[in-house]
A and B are shown apart, each in its own frame.
Chain A
Amino acid sequence: MQSKTTLNVDLLRADFPVLSREVGSAKKLVYLDSTATAQKPIAVIEAMNDFYRHHNANIHRGVHTLAEEATAMYEKGRKQVANFINAPSSRQVIFTRNTTEAINLVAYTWARANLQAGDVIILTEMEHHSNLVPWQILEAERGVRLEFVPVTDDYLFDMDAYRELLKLEPKLVSFTQMSNVLGTINPAQEIIRLAHEVGALTLVDAAQSVPHLPVDVQALDADFIAFSAHKMVGPLGVGALYGKMALLNAMPPFMGGGDMIKTVHLRSFVPNEVPHKFEAGTPAIAEVIGFGAAAAYLQNIGMDVIAAHEHEIAEYVLERLEEIPGLTVFGPSVEHKGGVASFVMDGVHPHDVAQILDGEGIAVRAGHHCAQPLHEKCGIQSTTRASFYLYNTKEEVDALVEGIYKVKKIFG
C-alpha cells in the first residue's frame, strides 16, 4: 500500500517486470534511460493483453457487443488521459502516434491555416528536434520567422531575452516544459502568461514534464500541449495533443480518411467533430487503452509524490557526480531540474562510457539526445545521459557512480 506522501519504491518496482532482468554476464539491470522510454507496469501490459484476448474489435461504428466494449474502453482511455492533465473535457484530448506527431499536427493544421511569411514563432535553444524541425520545414515553405530564446550560462530559460523577443509580437511560442538533456524545468505558467499578453498562442512540448511533474493544463492556460504515452509508463506508439476547444474546432483536419468524417460523397466530405476530426483511420486501440491505464497508475500514486521522489534522487545524483574529478554535468542547480543528468568525462567518449556501464548492467544513453543545437551551444559533441524515474533508487545512483569509477580506471 502506498503511503500518501512518500513513495515505497521497493514495493512499486515489483510492478515492473523488466526491472528484475539481468543483462550481460548476469548483472542486475539498472535502468537509467527512462527519458528515452519508461518501463511499463503489469497493469498497463495486462490492460493491453486483456483487450486483445477478450474485447478486440474495431471502434466507433459497430453495434455488436465486442465493438461496443472496445469503443467504451477506448473512450475510457481518453477520459483517463484527460483527467491526468486536468483537461476541461476529454474531447480536447486527441490521440496521435507520439509527441512528434502531435507537434506536427499543430504545424500542419493550425500553423498553416493561420501563419504567413514574416510571422514570428518563438522557440528555444534547448528544444528537442521534434519541436524544431516542424517549424524549420514551415519556415522554408512559408517564410515564417523563427526566433530562439537562449539558454543562460546557468542552463536556464533566458527570461530577459524572452521578454525582448515578445516585442516582435509573435504568433506562437513553442517551448519545452522540461529539457530532456539539461533537466531544466521551465516556468511554463509564466512563459504562457507573457505570451498571451502579446497575443501569442502557446504550444508546450510536455514529453518530459507530463511523466515527471504534476501538469494541469487549466492552471497553465496552455493553448496546446503535446506528450507521449511511452515516457509515462504507457505503451509505445501513442501520444496526445491537448488543445483549447475553440482552437481545435477552428483547425482544418490533419489526415483525411475514415472516422474523421461525418459524411462523404464522391467529391466532398464533411469533417467529424473534435476529437474525431483529428483521428483518421483505425487507431492504436490497445495502445490507447494502455495509455489510459498508465495515466491511472501514475495518478493513483500521485504526481506530486513521484516528483518529490525524483527530486530527492536528482539531488543525490548531483551530489555524488560532483565528487568525481574530471566529470562535468550539464544542467542547472537542483531546484530547477528534474531527474536527468547529462555529463562528459575528460578523455573518454560518451559511447565508451555507456558501453562500460552496460557491462555493469547500467543502461544510460550516449549521443546528442535529439538536441544537436543545444550540444553545439554548450560546446560539446555528445554527452552521456542518466535519467531517473519513480522506480529508481539511491542504490542505483551508487551503482552508476561505481561504474563511472570503473570507466576512469580503464581509460585513466
Chain B
Amino acid sequence: MDDLYREIIVERYKTPHYRGHLDPHDIFFEDDNPVCGDHIEITLQVDEAGVVKAAAFDGHGCSISQASADLLVESIHGKSMDEVKALTKDDVIELLGIELGPVRLKCALLSLKVLKAGAYGLGVGEVSDDLVE
C-alpha cells in the first residue's frame, strides 16, 4: 500500500462526503461482511426518468469498506438505474485507484453488493457474490 492509498482512503474514511440516510428514499438495502464486522446501508432517490438524483451510505467498518462506499455513492449521482445495475468490481477498483488482494477486495466490494442488491430489488436471502463478479 502506498501513500496515495492512505490519502484518498483515509480522507474519505475520516470525512465522508455522502454519509447519511435519505428519507424519503426509493431504494434501500443493507448488508454485512460478518467476518470482520463491516456494515453498509445505501439509500437512493430516483427520478421519474430512472436517474439517480440523490444517494447516501451509512455504516461502520474498515477504512476501505467505508471509503469505497463514499466514492461509489458519489459516482452514481446522475446515472441511470440501468447503468447502476451494470457496475462491476473493476469500476470500484478504478474508483479506489489501488490494487487490492482478495481479502481486502471483499471490504471494497461490500458497498457495490449492497447497491446492486438494492437496484435489483433483491430480498435479503438472494444476495450473493455473483453481484460483484
Instruction: List A residues at the B interface (Cβ < 8 Å).
Output: 349-352, 355-356, 358-359, 366-368, 381-382, 410-411
26 contacts between A and B (CB under 8 A): A349-B36, A349-B61, A349-B62, A349-B63, A350-B36, A350-B62, A351-B36, A351-B63, A351-B64, A351-B104, A352-B62, A356-B1, A358-B1, A359-B1, A366-B36, A367-B35, A367-B36, A368-B35, A368-B36, A381-B37, A382-B35, A382-B37, A410-B6, A410-B10, A411-B13, A411-B14
Question: B107 near A: Cβ within 8 Å?
Answer: yes
Cα(A358)–Cα(B38), bound, Å? 20
User: Could you tell me the distance in whole angstroms from the C-beta of B5 to the nearest C-beta in chain A?
Assistant: 9
Evaluate contact between B36 and A381: CB separation under 8 angstroms. Answer: yes
Instruction: List B residues at the A interface (Cβ < 8 Å).
Output: 1, 6, 10, 13-14, 35-38, 61-64, 104, 107
**A367: which B residues are within 8 A, CB to CB?**
35-36
**Interface SS, A side:** helix
Evaluate contact between B1 and A382: CB separation under 8 angstroms. Answer: no
Nearest A residue (CB) for B64: A351
User: B35, B38, B104 — which one has the most chain A CB atoms within 10 A of its CB?
Assistant: B35
**A350: which B residues are within 8 A, CB to CB?**
36, 62
Cα(A359)–Cα(B1), bound, Å? 6
Evaluate contact between B36 and A382: CB separation under 8 angstroms. Answer: yes
Evaluate contact between A351 and B62: CB separation under 8 angstroms. Answer: yes
User: Could you tell me the distance in whole angstroms from the C-beta of B6 to the nearest C-beta in chain A?
Assistant: 6
User: Could you tell me the distance in whole angstroms from the C-beta of B81 to the nearest C-beta in chain A?
Assistant: 31
Q: Closest 10 interchain pairs by CB?
A: A381-B37, A349-B62, A351-B62, A352-B63, A382-B36, A359-B1, A352-B62, A382-B37, A367-B36, A410-B6
**A382: which B residues are within 8 A, CB to CB?**
35-37
User: Could you tell me the distance in whole angstroms from the C-beta of A277 to the nearest C-beta in chain B?
Assistant: 38
**A368: which B residues are within 8 A, CB to CB?**
35-36
User: Could you tell me the distance in whole angstroms from the C-beta of A181 to the nearest C-beta in chain B?
Assistant: 15
**A358: which B residues are within 8 A, CB to CB?**
1
User: Could you tell me the distance in whole angstroms from the C-beta of A368 to the nearest C-beta in chain B?
Assistant: 7
Nearest B residue (CB) for A349: B62
User: Could you tell me the distance in whole angstroms from the C-beta of B79 to the nearest C-beta in chain A?
Assistant: 29
User: A351, A368, A382, A411 — which one has the most chain B CB atoms within 10 A of its CB?
Assistant: A351
Cα(A406)–Cα(B8), bound, Å? 17
User: Could you tell me the distance in whole angstroms from the C-beta of A22 to the nearest C-beta in chain B?
Assistant: 16
Nearest B residue (CB) for A355: B1
User: A356, A381, A382 — which one has the most chain B CB atoms within 10 A of its CB?
Assistant: A381
